[in-house]
Amino acid sequence: MKIPSSSPSSFAAVLIGLFVYTAILSVGNRPAEKYEQRLLSVSTRSSNGLLPFGYARKNLLPWSELPATNSSDGDTAIFWAIPRSGGTTVREFYQCARLSIAHKAGVESRFGHHNQTTLERFEPAHTEVGQADIQLVNVDTTTVEGIDRARDLGLVPSGLANLISTDKLKYAVIELFDEAHRGRAIALFRHPVERLVSQFWYLKQATWEPGYRPNWAELDVEFWAWKVNVERNYAVKRLAGKGMADDATERDLRIAMRTLEEYFVVGLTERMDESLSRFNAVLRIDENNPTTKICKKHFFFDSVGVRKTNSVAHPVLNEMSQGWIALHDTNQLDVRLYYHAVRIFEEQADLPMYLRAAESMDWSQ
């Protein structure tokens, strides 16, 4: 048998691995032990030894860390809203479930709270589902200027927002959170090609959106994919802290993978119901609560309520078409990240059960 050559780095890695493994085995026969061993397999998966991006290491909680046991003293969650991946549905579900949301809706002029000089959580209306009050915070976490204002007003330390929704991942995590107030990150992932095709059909007719593209109205999706679309590896760039005009590299992909696997509770758009159950577990939402049941039934099971909010019906792009191939080839890093997210999703399958078991235990013994 060939003995591998030793090096300080490899020796240190072995020591760390043995230490973590020994620590897990020493826990004893606890209900969560099996799951904790799975956590070890996730955290030690190969990402070529690269660390997660700095903003995550400093200001986010590891996804496997237990939430606060007191629901009134919970962690502030940040939902990374990847465009055309179900973000609107997630926000509306949690509004229905009575979470207070920080998003651009909080500064809509029709509510009259956008010019306030202090933070305020307010109830602008009733939902159509169960007539529960929607709760918003008067900040906009979808723009740089809005995030700056939220930071200056002390959004996260105030505890007024249960959930912050933004697509400005790096900037929001750096500016809104700190080591004393670390965020709990959740995100929904969709296949990048499907997401881009959806974006094409949506923006060509969404007159209410700032990104509305009337010049796309007469374009064929195949032509758009080959000649017009300029988006490249959006998710990798966001997770790795790169600008949208920057080129994404293999190293960026590895950093993005590591950041995702250590700090995010991962959901998949095509498995929305199951994804929300996992988000609910870390957000400390009781799925047996009558309001939660009504909201889930409306959004996912009712013949009328089964709606994909903000969705636009469009033809499916054939995977063998030139358009699909073009979008796939120009977003290969995002495609690989997506399949990594799918693997993480499977690894996190026992998360709700693990949290329930952990919460029921007396850790003082």
| Number of other CB atoms surrounding residue 173 within 10 Å | 27
pLDDT of residue 320: 83
pLDDT of residue 76: 92
Domain 45-359: give its CATH superfamily. P-loop containing nucleotide triphosphate hydrolases (3.40.50.300)
Residue 121: which residues within 8 A CB-CB, separation 6 or more?
Answer: 100, 135, 136, 137, 138, 160, 161
Let me know the angle formed at the C-alpha of 13 by 260 and 46, rounded to the nearest 5 degrees: 35
pLDDT of residue 101: 94
pLDDT of residue 330: 95
| Number of other CB atoms surrounding residue 140 within 10 Å | 20
**Ramachandran assignment for 49, one of left (phi > 0), alpha (psi -120 to 50 degrees), beta (any other):** left
Determine the longest span between alpha carbons in the chain, in angstroms: 74
E-strand ranges in 27-166 read 77-80, 100-102, 121-122, 135-137, 163-166
Residue 184: which residues within 8 A CB-CB, separation 6 or more?
Answer: 60, 61, 63, 67, 75, 76, 77, 78, 265, 282, 283
CA distance 23 to 143: 43
Domain boundaries, the chain: 12-44, 45-359
Asked whether 183 and 75 are in contact (CB, 8 A), the reply is yes
pLDDT of residue 210: 86
Q: Alpha helices of the chain — where are they, by DSSP H?
A: 8-25, 33-43, 54-59, 87-96, 144-152, 155-158, 169-176, 192-203, 221-223, 234-239, 250-263, 272-283, 290-300, 322-330, 332-347, 351-359
| Residue ranges for the chain with pLDDT beneath 50 | 1-44, 46, 71-72, 130-131, 303-307, 361-365
